Amino acid sequence: MKAFTTLASIALCSATAISSVRADCHDLMLNIPVNGTNYRLDILRVDSNTDAIDLVVDIDRWTSQNITERILGEVNISATFSIYAQLCFPEAAKDKHIVQILSHGGVFDHRYWDSQLDPAQYSYVYAALNAGYTVLNYDRLGNGLSEKPDAYTVAQAPIEVEVLQVLTEMVRKGTLLSHSAAGYYYSPKLRLPAFDKIVHVAHSLGSQITAAFLTKYGNQSSGAILTGFTFPTKTGPFKASAFGLEFAATNNPELFGDRPSGYVVPATVNNLQNCFFHRYNASDPTGFTEEALAYAESIKQPLSVGEAVATRGLLKIGYSPDFTGPLQFYLAEFDFLVCDGDCKGDYDPSFPPHVYPNASALETYIRPGAGHGNVLHKNASAGYAVSLDFLKRHGL
């Protein structure tokens, strides 16, 4: 089984993965000033594996009805966070002024979008660059090389909406480089345009954050692709306990020893398989390979307990009249996290038009055979082609 490099070499991994599409890539450590509101929650602290189990058992009992009982008040966050990002653009597309901002989901970082395992098959970044798009692929707050703040009151999804808004504004104004810390690997000769068209692409928790962004800042997005997320969501019996969460610093002190109290991570590779992968057997043509599963384990990341409860009603997702671009919901056929393993039978196409009344186009794509981690299934590149065609058909 192939061994993969660790987080310390992710910049090299990304550059290697996309080199064959003649991309010009630059690593940035961005200073992102945000002002926003999180919540002070009645939530258990996690400083051990035993605490992690207590937390999961507790939040699995929560519902959207009783979340208000757990909110003790609001917390105003005014801070500047260090956010890692990689900016890539193909040489032939420097004047197109269209950029895609990629937001990964929980328990992974930006490498979810840019696999070093057979990039032509699995890397969305590879596909987007090959289609002529500029790409900004970043680590969300608390993940990867980005800052890991307090897991209880700071590293929550509502403040990540504000991080995405500031990133979007910097991209639109062409000011990313002026906010990047010294010592990162971008050329001093690099000059960025002010991108006038911005497409937001996201997965799972990243899609929920992006949907909340569209609710609050819809006029700042030219179009969006939300993967691993839809309306309505029916998770059935599939709950947080399926992730097998452990205290991150205990799970892997070498990789996650820098994570403070409240950061948790799936315990084993089979927990990832349970939540993110699907196949009937090893020869399933649309399933996953052992190598893809090993790659997922090599890039897994902790998430904060503030993120872990984001789906329990803390994000304001809903009516988005200011969003006027095309929107694609991209689902995996056998996604247990989103639709209890049957997305073909679960999706209600009547709901999104009420949420996005002024969207120029709404489309649902269900990718055959895949599980929640759709980018690591055998037919990943075919799914990317559908999404990129959707954007092209609608002027992006």
> Are the C-beta atoms of 163 and 83 separated by less than 8 Å?
yes
Here the CATH number for the domain that contains residue 262 is: 3.40.50.1820
d(CA 309, CA 88): 32
Query: Is 121 domain-assigned?
Result: yes
Return per-residue pLDDT of the chain as tens, 396 residues.
Answer: 334 333 333 333 344 344 456 778 889 999 999 999 999 998 899 999 999 999 988 887 776 556 777 889 999 999 999 999 999 988 766 556 799 999 999 999 999 999 999 999 999 999 999 999 999 999 999 999 999 999 999 999 999 999 999 999 999 998 988 888 866 666 666 777 788 899 999 999 999 999 999 999 999 999 999 999 987 665 554 577 788 999 999 999 999 999 999 999 999 999 999 999 999 988 888 999 999 999 999 999 999 999 888 767 788 898 999 999 999 999 999 998 888 888 887 566 566 778 999 999 999 999 999 999 999 999 899 999 999 999 999 999
| SS3 readout for the chain | CCCCCCHHHHHHHHHHHHHHHCEEEEEEEEEEEEEEEEEEECCCCCCCHHHHHHHHHHHCCCCCCCHHHHEEEEEEEEEEEEEEEEEEEEHHHCCCCEEEEEECCCCCCHHHCCCCCCHHHHCHHHHHHHCCCEEEEECCCCCCCCCCCCCCCCCCHHHHHHHHHHHHHHHHHCCCHHHECCCCCCCCCCCCCCCCEEEEEEECHHHHHHHHHHHHHHHHCCEEEEECCCCCCCCCCCCHHHHCEEEHHHHCHHHHCCCCCCEEEECCHHHHHHHHCCCCCCCCCCCCCHHHHHHHHHHCCCEEHHHHCHHHCCCCCCCCCCCCCEEEEEEECCCHHHHCCCHHHHCCCCCHHHHCCCCCEEEEEEECCCCCCHHHCCCHHHHHHHHHHHHHHCCC
pLDDT of residue 314: 81
* Cα pseudo-dihedral 323, 141, 290, 378, rounded to 10: 20
pLDDT of residue 10: 35
Query: Is 286 domain-assigned?
Result: yes
Query: Is 320 domain-assigned?
Result: yes
Query: Is 205 domain-assigned?
Result: yes
Residue entry with tokens 């691993």: 228
Query: Is 2 domain-assigned?
Result: no
pLDDT of residue 12: 33
> Which residues span the domain enclosing 323?
7-393
pLDDT of residue 11: 38
Query: Is 295 domain-assigned?
Result: yes
Query: Is 50 domain-assigned?
Result: yes
| Counted domains in the chain | 1
Query: Is 1 domain-assigned?
Result: no
